[in-house]
Structure 1
Amino acid sequence: MSDPSLYNTEEVLDLLKLEQIETDRYLGQSHFMGSPNVFGGQVVGQSLYAAAVTVPQRRVHSLHSMFLLAGNHRLPIEYEVERVRDGGSFSTRRVVAYQEGRRIFVMSASFQTPEQGLSHQKEMPPADDPETVPSNIVAWKNQPPHPKRPFMPVPVDFRADHAGDILGGNPGKFSKHIWIRAPIRLSDDPMVHDSLFGYVSDYSLLWTALQPHGVRMSEPRLQIASLDHTIWFHRPFRMDEWLLFAMETPNASGGRGLCLAYVYNQQRELVATIAQEGLIRLRDKQPA
């Protein structure tokens, strides 16, 4: 049985369910993730939930978003949905997230009625059976506490193809593989799985761009933040079943790093692709 102190799955699921305050306007709460700033995945997941509520008969197939300002985890976030278009097969929504009257995040999302069509995919890379891979969450909790990166419960289990803690990455490598699964059985509602996927998609992806340079998240000179975030949803999936995130970093330059993730289920089907670019700076001097 899983150690309940490792996971906050129910808390995150409740966090992703927004309160409707008027037509196409929703209010979301935030939670502490070890930083005064709101976790980017939370805003992605909540924005997707807000958009999906307005398209009950269609499932998201893509979202494109930009982080504008850091959010304060002590304050609620207001989400405004614009119903851009409802066509015969596709619906388009635009979501703007506000704190204290300021735009902190924008997202465009497209939803599609299910249909059949041509099918091909990028092949899944070789990967170990997740049941044989140790949990990185357990390893993270058992490590000596770090003053700037304390252990925080997470909504899913992580099982990486590298030794060490979840923040350690795979030094010198341009890629890494991580199995991810919620530790409890979830509702059959697709919105639950899609919004939780949005939340989780911001974990660890940008950190991949640090690996080729041997830079760790605990590096005092490091300044890192998400700039934009895109997800294409290819096939149905469940977050309470193992998903392999095959991550890679094709480029870093100009103070930015680009990372991609190809996400597969255990049937070796490509269920989603993620692209994220983020700010990556190494300050000349350590902050006081």
Structure 2
Amino acid sequence: MLDKTLYDTEEVVRLLHLEPLGDNRFRGQSHFMGSPNVFGGQVLGQSLRAATQTVNDRRPHSMHAMFLLPGNFRKPIDYEVERVRDGGSFSTRRVVALQEGRRIFVMSASFQAPEEGLTHQKTIPAAIDPDDLPSSLPDWKARADSGRRPFMPVPVDFRVPHRGDLFTSHAAEPRKEVWVRAPIALEDDPRLHEALFAYVSDYGLLSTSLQPHGIRLGDAGLQIASLDHTIWFHRPFRMDAWLRFEMESPNASGGRGLCIGYAYDREGQLVATLAQEGLIRMREPRSI
């Protein structure tokens, strides 16, 4: 039986099913993630789902998003899709997310009809079998229960094949590896798996840029926020099968951190590449 204290998979799947409003407009609901602001992954997933609702027989191969303003989790978000172009092989869509009439997020996505072509990929070393690794979630929940930040359920299991975890606090190289998989079987609709991937892609990626500095999420004085987010989809995948994320941060400067991620399936196929730049600003804690 699914442990509702650890997972919110069914709730997130419901969030990724949008209400059609007509005229290429859709509405998505929000949920609480420990902050009054909407979780960035939610907007990524919902915007991609909105765009795919306007495209037939083509799968997304890239999405490029920019976060403009924080959203309020207590209010729904409306997504307006512009059908920029439908060509012989590719379709382009632009999505604007609005809340109370304000633009909080914009995204462009490109879709391609199935096509054969040259193939190669970045390879990775052999990995520990995720079934031989413990879930990180019970430990995260135990630490949260004894601290000041509440544990928020997640839609996928996380398993980390080394000491530390997805949100490490000790100084380390700006690299991390994690296996993820939804704990329940999901419907076969590829649009759901792509949207859930976009949702999950916002977990832990930006925090990779904090590792060389021994800083963790929630530390006093840390201001962190996503600025932009890109995903390139390479090969089909399922979110209810194990995916291995390899993440690194090649640069931090000017109050920003850049992070790159590679997602592989269990057979070692590179299924997606992602990149995110975010604000990572340290401020002196206010005296009380």
- Tell me how far 1:21 sits from its aligned partner: 1.1
- Tell me how far 1:168 sits from its aligned partner: 2.3
| Alignment of 1:113 onto 2:113 | yes
Quote the residue 1:220 is aligned against: 220
Distance 1:166 1:23 in 2: 41
Distance 1:249 1:270, change over 3 A: same
**Aligned residue type for 2:65:** S
Quote the residue 2:40 is aligned against: 40
Listed one character per residue, the Cα deviations across residues 11-57 of structure 1 (whole Å, up to 9, x for unaligned) are: 00000111011210111110000000000000000000000000031
Quote the residue 1:49 is aligned against: 49
**Aligned residue type for 2:70:** A
Quote the residue 1:160 is aligned against: 160
Distance 1:170 1:181, change over 3 A: farther
- Structure 1: segments with no counterpart, 5+ residues: none
Quote the residue 1:256 is aligned against: 256
Distance 1:167 1:132, change over 3 A: same
Quote the residue 2:68 is aligned against: 68
Listed one character per residue, the Cα deviations across residues 212-264 of structure 1 (whole Å, up to 9, x for unaligned) are: 11101121111100000000000000000000000000000000000000000
Quote the residue 1:181 is aligned against: 181
Mapped contact 2:166–2:176 kept (Cα < 8 A): no
Q: Which segment drifts farther, 218-227 or 278-287?
A: 278-287
Q: Which segment drifts farther, 260-269 or 136-145?
A: 136-145
**Aligned residue type for 2:251:** N
| RMSD between aligned residues | 1.5
Mapped contact 1:41–1:199 kept (Cα < 8 A): yes
- Tell me how far 1:162 sits from its aligned partner: 3.2
Distance 1:126 1:50 in 2: 37
Distance 1:51 1:210, change over 3 A: same
- Superposed, which structure 2 residues align to 1:130-149 within 5 Å? 130-145=130-145, 148-149=148-149
**Aligned residue type for 1:241:** A
TM-score for the superposition, normalised by structure 2:
0.96
Quote the residue 2:205 is aligned against: 205
Distance 2:138 2:121 in 1: 33
The SS at the match of 1:84 is strand
Distance 2:21 2:66 in 1: 24
Listed one character per residue, the Cα deviations across residues 72-95 of structure 1 (whole Å, up to 9, x for unaligned) are: 101110100000000111100000
The SS at the match of 2:5 is helix
Quote the residue 1:151 is aligned against: 151
Matched length: 288
Mapped contact 1:139–1:165 kept (Cα < 8 A): no
Distance 2:247 2:169 in 1: 11
Identity of aligned residues (%): 65
Listed one character per residue, the Cα deviations across residues 117-149 of structure 1 (whole Å, up to 9, x for unaligned) are: 000000023321111111111211122526552
- Tell me how far 1:285 sits from its aligned partner: 2.6
**Aligned residue type for 1:37:** N
Listed one character per residue, the Cα deviations across residues 162-216 of structure 1 (whole Å, up to 9, x for unaligned) are: 3345432663111000000000011110001000001000011001000011101
TM-score for the superposition, normalised by structure 1:
0.96
Quote the residue 1:7 is aligned against: 7
Distance 2:240 2:170 in 1: 26
- Tell me how far 1:286 sits from its aligned partner: 3.8
Distance 1:211 1:149 in 2: 20
Mapped contact 2:170–2:215 kept (Cα < 8 A): no
Mapped contact 2:144–2:151 kept (Cα < 8 A): no
Mapped contact 1:157–1:181 kept (Cα < 8 A): yes
**Aligned residue type for 1:173:** E
Mapped contact 1:170–1:176 kept (Cα < 8 A): no
**Aligned residue type for 1:245:** F
- Structure 2: segments with no counterpart, 5+ residues: none
**Aligned residue type for 1:52:** T
Mapped contact 1:161–1:176 kept (Cα < 8 A): no
Distance 1:148 1:279, change over 3 A: farther
Distance 1:191 1:96 in 2: 19
